Amino acid sequence: MYDNIIRRIFFTKTGEQGNIMETLNLFDISEQNSEKGASANENKLDVVKMSFAGSDTLSWQELFSGFDKLSAITYSSGIGFVYKLLELFEEAEIIFGCDEVMSYSLQEIMAYQCKVLERMRDTAEKRKIDLVQRIDKGNLRFYVAHSVLSHEKIYLLSAKDGRKRVIMGSANMSSSAFEGYQRENICYLDGEEAYQWYLNCYNDLKENSTDEISKKAFLYGDSGENLEYIPIAETTKTKKALILREADGAKEEIRFALDVKNLAGKFAPSVPKPDKKGKLLLSPEKIKTIRRNVAANYTKEKELQSEYPRLEVFPDEGIARLNDTNLDLNPKEEDIKKDAELFIKYMEGYEKFHGDVKGMQRRYYEFANWFFCSPFMACMRDMAVRYNQNLLPYPVFGLVYGQSKAGKTSFLETLLKMMIGQKTKISAPDFTRSSMEGLKRTVKGAPIIVDDLTNSRFNQHAIETIKNDDFGVSEGLLNYPAVVISANEDVKAVMPEVIRRTVICRVQAGLTNTEVMRSSVVRTVQREIGTAFYREYLRLMMEIVSSSLEKIKEDSCEVVPDILAESSKILMEMFSQYTSQELPKYIRTLTLEDYFSEKVTGSYAIKTIRNAWNTSRASFEISARSKELRYNTGATWEADRILKELPETLEAHKSREWIIMDLEEAKEFFGIQFKKTWLDKLQKK
């Protein structure tokens, strides 16, 4: 196609930095076409035909000098080298692509552009005035990607006397590429025809895939109060609207990149550290040492996996794995029926308890619905983050607490047995934030049960762990477990930050000591129940979750998918299909409201206030003039406990053992008119 002279240059230098190699995947398009059934004539590639005319050995200065204008595309860059290169040209513009694997969601684009600006300013401190003046005059322009850029590295050079040069190949705009620290494939073409062909490619990319870095963006744009100055925000001001499209073929690459990072993290404890100069001398003896360390850590991980099985779910593929073995998601009908009836038999056992039995069954069933659904929370949270949605509808912490001998531990064990065929748990002394993070990486999706946590350990370890519930989010992990804590009644005051992030099940019923000893239902059910019911549940949930993940991507998605509601529908359908008896009332459809509405999260406060109003109205003071309701709790710790369950609309605050609330809002929240009768006033006198 072109008969222009082409020079091919190989920079090679085995220096102190060693050889660095970049590998590009060229199979994306053909794979996508195959999947979509594209014909042989679709999505053809532009291929430039060249002739070999020889090779030269040049410095980067010799390669770029003698021209007045530069237009360049670089996929990654060393900003310091960029600024040195700019000094050779009277006029220049550079398009910066991203060297990380990205799906190009809005939040990723914003984060990338913020970091580019930060890096440019940090490196340009000594040159800032000159750069700003050049940007202001219009003879220097920077652009940053908001869409997928190709892996092209193109440098278009032109001179006032009409000379043209195109430099291309593997070299990004960095010192390591152009100063001989790593092997690169660098070519150049001189002449008008090649220049114009590549200039058209460049202009098309600049127009459709980039945002200009303005003077304001360069000086002020950041990830905080000046977010409106970042390039993509300024583009929307000019164009009024901008359509973004996620990279369709990026999912596999992103997952691969994350897998590499995760594996590197596993290798990190086993490999030696570089010296102060960053050098690492690698010998056969060190390789053997690394192998021994890796093998030892692998053995430890296997021991953990045998104690805490690893469950993984892949909704898009419709498969689930337990310890790297695909689960049979088409269990026999008779096995499903047996498990369903055993579960109901287990729940019927609570009718022998003393206290709020009906409430206990309802709350335990609500908790079971979340528990079964919890392996899907990781992928839902990952998609929610990518599309700037709330994480709170996808909780990964559960708390079961209340009076002793309420069957909390055996209930959780039974649920886990239904999921993975085992009833593992960790003891309270082993629970710390760091130990949880290590265990989460190992067990993947099966919930981790922390048994019998005391109030002091809950306050010391659990609260901070729950408040900072971002594990796996930044890394894009698609399988990690929920953490379920069981505790007795002494876990009294649950903070609002915890309530919003935790599925809470407070039970107020139990057995006597002798009744606990005589009960055989738990042992019978746990011995006989299998995983068939749960495997069928997983099969049915896969399609629902896959569809929910797609809904989050939609521009019109204002309300995030409620997979807890979908889970409860599936469970109800399964119990209806696989049990012959009439369904108990606790088996019902649920929504997020059943878990996180203010009436649910404030249930203890509501019950306490209502009981006090019925039995001890002298504890209340009502001021119609100041529109306040005051309640004497009798103890400061009880005031703390109630206060933490009250919604912000009540404007509640504490004065020693008194809680002061907005009267009208309190009437609405507690469902009480709070009017004193003449008898109440007489009794107070």
- Among residues 236, 199, 71, 45, the alpha carbon closest in space to that of 141 is found at 71
Q: What are phi and psi of 62, to 5 degrees?
A: -65, -35
Indicate the residue type of 329. Answer: L
- In the predicted model, what is the mean pLDDT of residues 500-511? 83
Task: Summarize pLDDT for 640-669 with one digit per residue, the tens.
Answer: 888 888 887 888 999 899 999 999 889 988
**Better pLDDT: 284 or 314:** 314
To the question of pTM greater than 0.85 for the whole model, the response is: no
The whole-number pLDDT of residue 476 equals: 80
Give the 3-state secondary structure of residue 401: strand
Q: Which of 3.40.50.300, 3.40.50.980, 3.40.50.620, 3.30.870.10 would CATH assign to domain 6-23+50-239? A: 3.30.870.10
Q: Given 3-state DSSP classes, what are the helix, strand and coil percentages for the chain, each rounded to the nearest 5?
A: 50, 15, 35
Q: What contacts 234, CB < 8 A, 6 or more positions away?
A: 211, 212, 214, 216, 217, 228
Cβ–Cβ under 8 Å, residues 380 and 563: yes
Q: Which two tokens stand for residue 313?
A: 């779910």
Give me the sign of the Cα torsion angle 180, 181, 183, 186.
negative
Task: Summarize pLDDT for 25-60 with one digit per residue, the tens.
Answer: 323 333 344 444 444 445 677 788 888 888 888 888
**121 exposure class (CB count in 10 Å sphere: 0-12, 13-18, 19+):** middle
Q: What residues does each domain of the chain span?
A: 6-23+50-239, 250-307, 319-597, 602-684
Question: How many Å from the N-terminal Cα to the C-terminal Cα in the chain?
Answer: 105
Task: Summarize pLDDT for 390-414 with one digit per residue, the tens.
Answer: 888 999 999 998 777 778 889 999 9
Cβ–Cβ under 8 Å, residues 75 and 99: yes
Task: Summarize pLDDT for 482-498 with one digit per residue, the tens.
Answer: 999 888 765 655 666 77
What are the DSSP E strand ranges found in 198-306?
Answer: 210-213
User: How far apart are alpha carbons 356 and 485 in whole angstroms?
Assistant: 21
- Among residues 480, 483, 512, the alpha carbon closest in space to that of 400 is found at 483
Q: Which of 3.40.50, 3.30.43, 1.10.10, 3.10.260 would CATH assign to domain 602-684? A: 1.10.10
Q: What contacts 266, CB < 8 A, 6 or more positions away?
A: 297
